[in-house]
């Protein structure tokens, strides 16, 4: 669909407009723990509170500080989970890295994507005695008119209720993204990306 055709179709991650710019957030959010997720319908905001201990320690930030990603003028928030295929996955002994990757990819292709409730997901993330949501990958898409779409993949820990890691992918479309630490320090996106890039470059 052409971006300039005047269509009123709402664009999100599964229907990105032509010319959208996609930036990987892997460097700064991989291995982060999403410790709190809050949304406010009245204020039209979604806030992600992330504990990224390796970045905090490497950059000598205060003990216990969290990174806060606040999305404003939110237009949509949705989440899907992957029902893991129960047949299991066995990598043959002595398999090459390429063969191992292919076997895992074939196994994951048998998983089933299922819709789930955003409210239930938010409750699960915020539950004090619940499982931790570990971020595996993340990306940010920006359209030419400034609308943002964030995609975050991760797993909701392991615990007595699940018995294994439950993989989720969630999306938020918004008009603005603000990044800060819980002690009030603000970051531009480029600065936040640099925090992660500098860390991984030293690994």
Structural domain harbouring 123: 14-201
* 9 is a domain residue: no
Q: For 4-22, how does the pLDDT look when each residue is reduced to its tens digit (9 = 90+)?
A: 344 434 455 666 667 788 9
* 3 is a domain residue: no
Distance CA 52, CA 202 (A): 16
Give the model's pLDDT for residue 183: 94
**pLDDT at position 101 over 70:** yes
Give the model's pLDDT for residue 87: 86
Give the model's pLDDT for residue 88: 84
How would you class 28 by CB atoms within 10 Å of its CB: exposed for 0-12, middle for 13-18, buried for 19 or more?
buried
Count: domains in the chain? 1
Give the model's pLDDT for residue 12: 59
* 2 is a domain residue: no
What is the pTM for the complete model shown?
A: 0.82
Distance CA 79, CA 7 (A): 25
Give the model's pLDDT for residue 158: 54
Give the model's pLDDT for residue 35: 93
Q: For 23-44, how does the pLDDT look when each residue is reduced to its tens digit (9 = 90+)?
A: 999 999 999 999 999 999 999 9
Give the model's pLDDT for residue 70: 98
Distance CA 134, CA 156 (A): 6
* 5 is a domain residue: no
| DSSP one-letter code for 28 | H
Q: What integer best gives the mean pLDDT of the chain?
A: 86
H helical segments located in the chain: 26-29, 53-58, 97-108, 118-126, 189-201
Determine if residue 111 is left, alpha or beta; phi over 0 gives left, psi from -120 to 50 gives alpha, anything else beta: beta
* 49 is a domain residue: yes
- Contacts made by residues 1-5, CB under 8 angstroms, sequence distance 24+: 3/143, 3/144
User: Which among 21, 39, 1 has a CA at the least distance from the CA of 141?
Assistant: 21
Residue 56: phi and psi, rounded to 5, are -60, -45
* 102 is a domain residue: yes
Q: For 142-197, how does the pLDDT look when each residue is reduced to its tens digit (9 = 90+)?
A: 988 888 999 999 998 754 344 456 889 999 999 999 999 999 999 999 999 999 99
Determine if residue 183 is left, alpha or beta; phi over 0 gives left, psi from -120 to 50 gives alpha, anything else beta: alpha
* 178 is a domain residue: yes
* 44 is a domain residue: yes
């Amino acid at each position: 669909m052409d971006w300039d055709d005047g269509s009123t179709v709402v664009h999100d991650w599964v229907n990105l407009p032509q010319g959208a710019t996609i930036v990987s957030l892997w460097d700064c959010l991989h291995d982060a723990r999403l410790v709190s997720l809050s949304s406010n319908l009245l204020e039209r905001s979604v806030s992600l509170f992330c504990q990224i201990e390796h970045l905090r320690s490497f950059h000598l930030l205060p003990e216990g500080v969290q990174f806060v990603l606040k999305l404003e003028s939110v237009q949509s928030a949705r989440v899907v989970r992957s029902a893991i295929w129960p047949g299991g996955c066995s990598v043959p002994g002595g398999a090459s890295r390429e063969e191992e990757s292919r076997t895992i990819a074939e196994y994951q292709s048998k998983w089933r994507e299922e819709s789930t409730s955003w409210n239930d997901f938010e409750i699960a993330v915020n539950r004090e005695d619940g499982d931790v949501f570990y971020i595996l990958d993340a990306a940010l898409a920006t359209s030419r008119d400034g609308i943002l779409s964030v995609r975050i993949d991760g797993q909701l820990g392991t615990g007595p209720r699940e018995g294994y890691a439950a993989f989720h992918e969630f999306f938020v479309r918004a008009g603005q993204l603000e990044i800060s630490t819980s002690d009030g320090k603000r970051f531009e996106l480029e600065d936040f990306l640099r925090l992660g890039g500098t860390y991984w470059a030293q690994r």
